[in-house]
């Protein structure tokens, strides 16, 4: 689905991504962990076209997308969630989902059925984010976690192949975090999506039970199951100067 080859990104004299390489297989859930400032968000910015790299190559579904503008990359099927929920607070939950559903229909050339074709998919998305009973409620009245889940469902509505989530559990309670892990797993199992998540919360990473990618100083230094990497000396040293990862 995605391959990053030797990506270099510098800000002034500082090299933030230092020949970073990674690849994501289609239909996989992947989680990037790494200490503050190691370049995780910068990587998302390069992958999605918000930043141009100084070196390297990004391949998405076999196409070279290096340096393409963000709107082109989004149109090719890569979508991203920021930490702060990007929802329309004055619209209802259902309306928030109908907007991206209609946009997807428009892209697919279904102009005559822009809204009428949304019904089945709307029900599935409301179920995914657990908000069927609040479909007509204004989004401004939702709890923080509910807004995050709604936005993930909105990403699904545009029918992207690759979904990038930047710290989706930030500010969530433990039950909300567990529910978010379940939702992200369903993106793969029920909808066949490829997912790449940045996350600091190790209980969430464990709950996701996915492929873990460890970043350190702008590179990928380890990959594998959480149970395999959590006792790695370099990974432990990267966190809190030696405290265990979990
Ligand atoms: N636009 C920018 N201009 C200059 N420096 C930047 C810019 N964006 C990021 N940086 C720097 O690049 C480094 C990596 O930042 P980045 O946000 O990618 O790290 P991160 O791993 O996502 O951190 P965190 O876990 O705290 O979110 C930091 O030193 C940051 O200050």
> In this predicted complex, what is the ipTM?
0.95
Which of the two residues, 243 and 94, has the higher pLDDT score? Answer: 94
Same domain, 179 and 205: yes
Same domain, 73 and 92: no
| DSSP annotation string for 69-91 | -HHHHHHHTEEEE-SS----TTS
> Using a 6 Å cutoff on CB, does residue 38 contact ligand 1?
yes
Same domain, 112 and 142: yes
pLDDT at residue 158 is higher than 80? yes
Q: Residue 138: give the domain boundaries.
A: 87-159
pLDDT at residue 246 is higher than 70? no
pLDDT at residue 27 is higher than 80? yes
pLDDT at residue 117 is higher than 70? no
Same domain, 116 and 19: no
Residue 176 is assigned to a structural domain of this protein:
yes
Q: What share of the chain is helix, strand, coil (3-state, %, to 5)?
A: 40, 25, 35
From 11, 170, 238, the mutation candidate for ligand 1 (largest count of ligand atoms within 8 A of CB) is 11
Q: Which of 124, 159, 194 is the last residue of a domain?
A: 159
Of the chain, the end-to-end C-alpha distance in Å amounts to 29
pLDDT at residue 214 is higher than 80? yes
Distance separating alpha carbons of residues 187 and 90, to the nearest angstrom? 27
| DSSP annotation string for 148-160 | HHHHHHHHHHTT-
Q: Which of 106, 137, 159 is the last residue of a domain?
A: 159
4 CB contacts (<8 Å, ≥6 apart)? 20, 21, 22, 23, 43, 46, 47, 56, 57, 58, 59
From 10, 12, 32, 42, the mutation candidate for ligand 1 (largest count of ligand atoms within 8 A of CB) is 42
Which of the two residues, 41 and 118, has the higher pLDDT score? Answer: 41
How many angstroms does the Cα of residue 95 sit away from the middle of ligand 1?
34
Residue 82 is assigned to a structural domain of this protein:
no
Same domain, 167 and 242: yes
Same domain, 238 and 123: no
Same domain, 208 and 135: no
Residue 15 is assigned to a structural domain of this protein:
yes
> What average pLDDT does this structure show over 172-183?
92
> What average pLDDT does this structure show over 159-169?
92
Check residue 102 and give its pLDDT. Answer: 82
Check residue 113 and give its pLDDT. Answer: 56
> Using a 6 Å cutoff on CB, does residue 39 contact ligand 1?
yes
The closest residue, in CA terms, to atom 25 on ligand 1 is 36
Count of structural domains, the chain? 2
Q: Which of 134, 159, 184 is the last residue of a domain?
A: 159
Token output for 218: 């702008």
Same domain, 110 and 185: no
Angle between helices 174-189 and 144-157 (to 10 degrees): 10
β-pairing, 2-11 vs 14-24, is: antiparallel
> What average pLDDT does this structure show over 54-81?
93
Token output for 12: 């002034």
Query: How far lies 162's CA from each of 52, 69, 195, 227, in Å?
Result: 19, 17, 6, 25
- Where residue 226 sits, what CATH number does that domain have? 3.40.50.300
The closest residue, in CA terms, to atom 17 on ligand 1 is 41
Same domain, 101 and 5: no
Same domain, 15 and 73: yes
Same domain, 199 and 127: no
pLDDT in tens, 221-238: 999 998 888 888 878 777
Same domain, 182 and 235: yes
User: What percent of the chain lies above the pLDDT cut of 90?
Assistant: 64
Q: Which of 82-96, 115-129, 205-219 has the lowest mean pLDDT?
A: 115-129
pLDDT at residue 111 is higher than 80? no
The closest residue, in CA terms, to atom 9 on ligand 1 is 42
> Using a 6 Å cutoff on CB, does residue 11 contact ligand 1?
yes
Distance separating alpha carbons of residues 170 and 153, to the nearest angstrom? 17
> Using a 6 Å cutoff on CB, does residue 45 contact ligand 1?
no
The confidence band for 244, taking pLDDT boundaries of 50, 70 and 90, is very low
């Amino acid at each position: 689905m995605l391959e990053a080859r030797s990506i270099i990104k510098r800000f002034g004299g500082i090299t933030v991504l230092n020949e970073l390489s990674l690849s994501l297989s289609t239909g996989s859930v992947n989680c990037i962990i790494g200490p503050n400032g190691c370049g995780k968000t910068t990587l998302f910015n390069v992958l999605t076209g918000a930043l141009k790299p100084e070196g390297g190559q990004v391949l998405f579904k076999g196409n070279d997308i290096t340096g393409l503008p963000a709107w082109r990359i989004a149109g090719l099927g890569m979508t991203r969630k920021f930490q702060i929920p990007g929802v329309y607070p004055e619209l209802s939950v259902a309306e928030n989902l109908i907007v991206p559903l209609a946009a997807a229909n428009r892209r697919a050339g279904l102009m005559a059925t822009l809204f009428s074709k949304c019904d089945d998919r709307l029900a599935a998305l409301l179920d995914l984010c657990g908000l069927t009973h609040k479909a007509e409620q204004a989004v401004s009245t939702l709890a923080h976690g509910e807004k995050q889940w709604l936005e993930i469902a909105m990403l699904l509505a545009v029918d992207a192949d690759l979904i990038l989530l930047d710290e989706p559990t930030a500010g969530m309670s433990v039950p909300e975090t567990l529910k978010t892990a379940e939702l992200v797993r369903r993106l793969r199992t029920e909808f066949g999506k490829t997912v790449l998540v940045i996350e600091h919360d190790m209980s969430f990473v464990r709950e996701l039970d996915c492929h873990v990618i460890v970043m350190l100083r702008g590179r990928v230094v380890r990959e594998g199951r959480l149970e395999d990497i959590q006792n790695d000396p370099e990974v432990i040293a990267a966190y809190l100067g030696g405290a265990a990862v979990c």
